[in-house]
Structure 1
Amino acid sequence: MTGNETVLQYLTAVPAWYLATSVDDQPHVRPFSFAAEQDGKIWFCTATTKDVWEELAINRRFEATSWWPGHGWLILRGEAGLEDLARDDIRQAGYDHMTGLGERYDGPNDPTLVFFSVENPQAWICNHDEWKPLAL
């Protein structure tokens, strides 16, 4: 299993995982639940109307974590690639996911719905005894 496959497994095996940004030395953490892989990169989905998008535009660095019971937890660090190059199938999956959560968009190509890639990723799988870096 590749590092990206392991990361996606940890992010999609649970109902929500958490993404943190930092602006003006103030951390901001919120739940996320969509992740996909395209062209060897992990992609997340959000909206231009959300604070997280504005925060990532100011400081692209973020950290995400997911605890998968019985498996440990994932720590993923990276920089948000804000150029939305998501393929149509990723856009459709993100749209379906977000509308399934009760959010409203005018289809998968709604300009409010945006996708960002994980650039310069670093990841670790952790438990109480050790941290194992993943090759990404």
Structure 2
Amino acid sequence: MDEIYEFIKKCGTYYLATVEDGQPRVRPFGTVNIFEGKIYIQTGRKKDVSKQIQKNPKVELCCFNGSEWCRVAGELVDDDRIEPKKAMLESYPELKKMYSAEDENTQVLYLKNATATLSSFAAPPKVVKF
């Protein structure tokens, strides 16, 4: 799992796919953190992506570093505790202009039942489950 986290973190931007009324929705994300041995992402509860995840927590994310790509399929679980919110905001201090660990909007979610596949044209795929 640490290898997957490091890969996503180094890419900087990953694309998160959700579903809304049967239609795929994909958008760029930039937050990823490890807290208590789980990979977390962050968004705002007021955003459509949050509402889509509440309806259907199954998501996929994808990122590319120029020669390799990583796809992660799994479920996102909302964690409303203040500790993971603080940890995320400490890792991304620029977000403190828009979010606070104590506000009603900040949302952190961790990946559960995840399968990550690291791929390239030069090597066979590597699968990591966490």
TM-score, normalised via structure 2 length: 0.87
Residue 15 of structure 1 aligns with which residue? 12
Tell me if the contact between 2:33 and 2:39 (Cα under 8 Å) persists in the aligned partners.
yes
Tell me if the contact between 2:72 and 2:114 (Cα under 8 Å) persists in the aligned partners.
yes
Tell me if the contact between 1:94 and 1:108 (Cα under 8 Å) persists in the aligned partners.
no
Tell me if the contact between 1:21 and 1:52 (Cα under 8 Å) persists in the aligned partners.
yes
Alpha-carbon distance in 2 for matches of 1:6, 1:104: 30
Q: For residue 41 of structure 1, report the CA deviation from its aligned partner.
A: 1.0
1:74 pairs with 37, 57, 70, which one? 70
Residue 134 of structure 1 aligns with which residue? 128
Identity %: 23
Q: For residue 109 of structure 1, report the CA deviation from its aligned partner.
A: 1.9
What's the C-alpha RMSD, in Å, of the aligned pairs?
A: 1.9
TM-score, normalised via structure 1 length: 0.83
Structure 2 residue ranges without an equivalent (≥5): none
Correspondence 1:28 to 2:21: no
Alignment coverage as a number of residue pairs:
128
| SS class of match (1:34) | coil
Stretches (4+) displaced over 4 A: none
Alpha-carbon distance in 1 for matches of 2:94, 2:116: 24
2:34 pairs with 33, 37, 52, which one? 37
Structure 1 residue ranges without an equivalent (≥5): none
Q: For residue 8 of structure 1, report the CA deviation from its aligned partner.
A: 1.2
Tell me if the contact between 1:45 and 1:94 (Cα under 8 Å) persists in the aligned partners.
no
